[in-house]
Amino acid sequence: MSAATICPPSIEPDLPPGAVGRLTIDLDALAGNWRQLTAAAGPGVTVGAVVKADGYGLGLAPVALSLAAAGCRWFFVALLEEGEALARAFAGRWPEARIGVFSGPLPGTLERFLAGPSLVPVLNDLDQVEAWRMRGGGRPAILHLDTGMARLGLPPEEALALAADPARRAGLALAAVMSHLACADEPAHPHNALQLARFERLSAGFPAAPRSLAASSGFFLGPGYRFDLVRAGAALYGLNPTPGAPNPMRQVVGVQARILQVRAIDRGSPVGYGAAFTTDRPRLVATIGLGYADGLPRNAGNRARCHVGPMEAPIIGRISMDLATLDVSAIAPERVRPGRLVELIGPHHDADALAAECGTIGHDILTGLGPRLHRVYRGGAPC
Ligand SMILES: *Cc1c(COP(=O)(O)O)cnc(C)c1O
């Protein structure tokens, strides 16, 4: 990594006046997570980065540029627009970087794929295979095989038929064959071994192509699942790829919210919409300026927790569009004055913990973080 591509740390401790929430993104931890996976995989395995949905909500350009500066050369996005935006962000740097586009060459997009030399479409059905073979100019694509998810990709019988018919494959250059695991976050699930066996069998029909099966959790199912190319998303962003076991990744994301008002209320007082919480004793209530429009799920109401240092501040009442209410009775009053920040995601309570309280997964929390949060990038922000 050359120092010239890295900006000085951009630490901005304070929120601008008027901002009510802050999203901090530790780009050093992000790059460290990529290096950790790359080192753990060892030689012969390439760890690609999935940066779809604006880099899981953390900012496509800063995320991808940090990973590229660390040495990552394979990137994946869901949409062609995302791939084009990434190619623009690279602006001629890392010309060898490749951008796989999961949604593939949808009708009317062929010219745009051909205009972007780094773009690699994922071919999800036989029509796309045929179109790319005839009009893709010999450019490589990724062939997606469905090994048991019924989502995208060629079903086994089509994959076998294509493999068996050289005429239908003539001129088709494959950068990889890929499939996706449905149950990788449950290591004991029998579907993992079944999909692995199907992938071995179906990919053998395309012996010259590198193989890609694992995303973040699949990586941790063991070396037998890693093949040539891993497509890691969640783990890079610090989410736990091994649910139920300690998180092997570094935390990347923090979310803090500003306290707007604090009030002492009596026993029997309702809090928030629907009077969905009523106090059983006098309490101190802090209102923070962060709501479901900012990505604090509405079903965090009466379920999730914030933190002030190590102290818990349970969310009480419903989440509003722009506001939420916390019980801060147990916290020293000087620490919960208006203007102070409380932690929604951070060292005491990570995105997975918030997700579990809300009945969802960390991917959903990160990609839901809204544009009103003031973003602060820490560490090796690329210029
Ligand atoms: C989103 C996605 C990934 C990344 O999954 P993580 O669980 O975030 O690592 C990999 N492959 C495909 C096909 C995906 O859609």
Residue-wise pLDDT for 297-341, tens only, equals 999 999 999 999 999 999 999 999 999 999 999 999 999 999 999
Q: Which of 102, 360, 361 is the best mutation target for the ligand 1 pocket, counting ligand atoms within 8 Å of the beta carbon and taking the most?
A: 102
Tell me the torsion sign for CA atoms 117, 131, 195, 78: positive
Is the predicted pLDDT of residue 381 greater than 60, yes or no? no
Q: How far is the CA of 231 from the centre of ligand 1 (A)?
A: 6
The percentage of the chain sitting over the pLDDT mark of 90, rounded to a whole number, equals 93
Which atom of ligand 1 is closest in space to residue 232's alpha carbon? 9
The model's confidence at residue 2, banded by pLDDT at 50, 70 and 90, is: very low
pLDDT of residue 15: 84
Is residue 52 annotated as part of the catalytic site, yes or no?
A: yes
Instruction: Supply the pTM of this predicted model.
Output: 0.94
Residue 233 Cα, ligand 1 centroid: separation in angstroms? 6
Closest ligand 1 atom number to CA of residue 184: 7
Report the nearest atom of ligand 1 relative to the CA of 235.
Answer: 9
The atom number, within ligand 1, closest to the CA of 122 reads 13
Q: Is the pLDDT of residue 275 over 80?
A: yes
Q: What is the pLDDT of residue 18?
A: 87
Residue 194, pLDDT above cutoff 70: yes
- How many angstroms is it from 171 CA to the middle of ligand 1? 28
Residue 232 CA to ligand 1 centre (angstroms): 6
Catalytic residue among 56, 225, 237, 273: 273
User: Where does the pLDDT of residue 17 fall: very low under 50, low under 70, confident under 90, or very high at 90 and above?
Assistant: confident
- Residues linked to residue 21 through DSSP beta bridges, in sequence order: 257
Tell me the average pLDDT across 112-120.
97
pLDDT at 65 over 70: yes
The active-site residue, picked from 52, 225, 292, 377, is 52
What lies within 8 Å, CB to CB, of 72 at 6+ separation is: 34, 47, 48, 49, 97
Strands lying side by side in the sheet with 229-232: 211-212, 174-178, 141-144, 119-123, 98-101, 74-77, 46-50, 229-232
Q: What is the pLDDT of residues 199-242, one digit of tens each?
A: 999 999 999 999 999 999 999 999 999 999 999 999 999 999 99
- Confidence at 27, pLDDT banded by 50, 70, 90: very high
Closest residue (by CA) to atom 4 of ligand 1? 233
Q: Work out the average pLDDT over 154-171.
A: 96
Looking from the CA of residue 216, the nearest atom of ligand 1 is 9
Q: Which residues line ligand 1 (CB under 6 A)?
A: 50, 52, 102, 180, 215-216, 231-235, 363
| Closest Cα to atom 3 of ligand 1 | 215
Mutational pocket test of ligand 1: of 50, 149, 211, the residue with most ligand atoms within 8 Å of the beta carbon: 50
Instruction: Tell me the pLDDT band of 6, cut-offs 50, 70 and 90.
Output: very low
Q: How far is the CA of 272 from the centre of ligand 1 (A)?
A: 37
